[in-house]
Structure 1
Amino acid sequence: MALILQNIDKIVSLSDREKETILSKIEIKHYKAKTVLLNAGDICKHSYFVNSGILRSFNINDNIVEHVLQFACEGWWIGDMYSLITQKPGNLYVEVNEDAEVVLLSKENQEELFQEIPKLERFFRILTENSLVANQERLMDNLSLSAEERFEKFCSKYPTLIQKVPQKQVASYIGVTPEFFSKMKAKMLRK
């Protein structure tokens, strides 16, 4: 069974016909590392589901500093939700960190699937709710936890990513400069 169907099946049960319908509405592509799937300022036309590899979403501020919002590895969804939902230009980049096989579900096909398979609206509602909860938790962590605590939480939440993504991206995700991150890590290793 395709990984995306397993992902959906964790929340809603699908008949064989519904699975076939979903598979007919998606596109699978292979991307090399460093491929940009979405640029800031573009309108997000797809949700991306990772079959293999790693993707990340990030923003670049006026001082040309990257702020990593999300990493997505096998079995995770990613995209610019603001732009996808509003169909207005977004402010996020989505880039391939590690060679990846990605499922693309267009906004148009997603809407058609909602009509053909109404329980998919429930699936995407739950996915969106989980994302909202995770984003709120991350915001609260950034306001209340030290950089060391945020790093420890990152390591426990994403144990496989810490070895696969560049340290400067981990620093950006936890909200510190690469220089501070190096010093903090060295200090933590000495403990």
Structure 2
Amino acid sequence: MNKINVKKKQVLQIKGDLYSKAYIVESGLLRSYTIDETGKEHIFMFGPEGWIVTDYASGDEPCDLYIDALEDSVVIQIEKNTELDFDQKKIIKRIRVLQSRVIMLMSASAIDRYEHFISTYPTIVQRVPQYMIASYLGITPEALSAAKSQRLKSRK
């Protein structure tokens, strides 16, 4: 752990970094966000005093988020601990899945969300009703039907 002073607008992490850290905010304000392919910014979270801001990528996974300071801040920087026990690794994996889902719901098209669903849950696509898949994706059943049709057309 290392206490650092961070200036307003200072970037602590760039999307795609392979070595992530966690930041405990002692004073000031951080944010984490992503930028989609159209250049639109999607804020994932704000980190005021007492909060932890991180995109704790595991293994060789690149980070999904940018992290920067919205105010001059004092943060405790925690290096990624590679000596995690089994339960900690499971929790971090679950947090990463939820983070990816939130980012996708904020910024991805219906077809991209459906493609991600198929790759994440290949064994349950045929086991749950389509209206539940649509609900999970945050779209209407009609939009899911259109996304599936678009997917089929693009594969031909």
Q: TM-score range by the shorter chain?
A: 0.5 to 0.7
Q: Contact conserved, 1:51 with 1:75, CA < 8 A, in 2?
A: yes
- Write out per-residue CA displacement over residues 49-108 of structure 1, whole angstroms, 9 at most, x where no aligned residue: 111111000001111110000111111111113xx223322221001111111111111x
The DSSP-based 3-state class of the residue aligned with 1:67 is strand
Q: Contact conserved, 1:40 with 1:92, CA < 8 A, in 2?
A: yes
Q: Contact conserved, 1:31 with 1:96, CA < 8 A, in 2?
A: yes
> Corresponding residue for 1:152?
none
Aligned match of 2:52 in 54, 59, 77?
77
> Corresponding residue for 2:30?
55
Unaligned runs of 5+ in 1: 1-25, 143-191
What percentage of residue pairs aligned between the two structures are identical? 30
Q: What TM-score do the two structures reach when normalised by structure 1?
A: 0.44
Q: Per residue, is there more helix in 1 or in 2?
A: 1
1:94 aligns with 2:94: no
> Corresponding residue for 1:159?
none
The Cα of 1:128 is off from its aligned counterpart by 8.5
Which residues in structure 2 correspond to 1:33-44 (within 5 Å)? 33-44=8-19
Q: Contact conserved, 1:55 with 1:96, CA < 8 A, in 2?
A: yes
RMSD of equivalent CA atoms: 3.5
The DSSP-based 3-state class of the residue aligned with 2:58 is helix
CA distance in 2, matches of 1:44, 1:50: 19
Q: Contact conserved, 1:44 with 1:79, CA < 8 A, in 2?
A: no
The DSSP-based 3-state class of the residue aligned with 1:86 is coil
- Give the ranges of 4+ consecutive aligned residues of structure 1 lying more than 6 Å apart after TM superposition: none
Which residues in structure 2 correspond to 1:19-168 (within 5 Å)? 26-81=1-56, 84-107=57-80, 110-112=81-83, 121=88, 125=91
The DSSP-based 3-state class of the residue aligned with 2:50 is coil
CA distance in 1, matches of 2:25, 2:73: 7
Q: Contact conserved, 1:52 with 1:74, CA < 8 A, in 2?
A: yes
Aligned positions, number: 105
Q: What TM-score do the two structures reach when normalised by structure 2?
A: 0.53
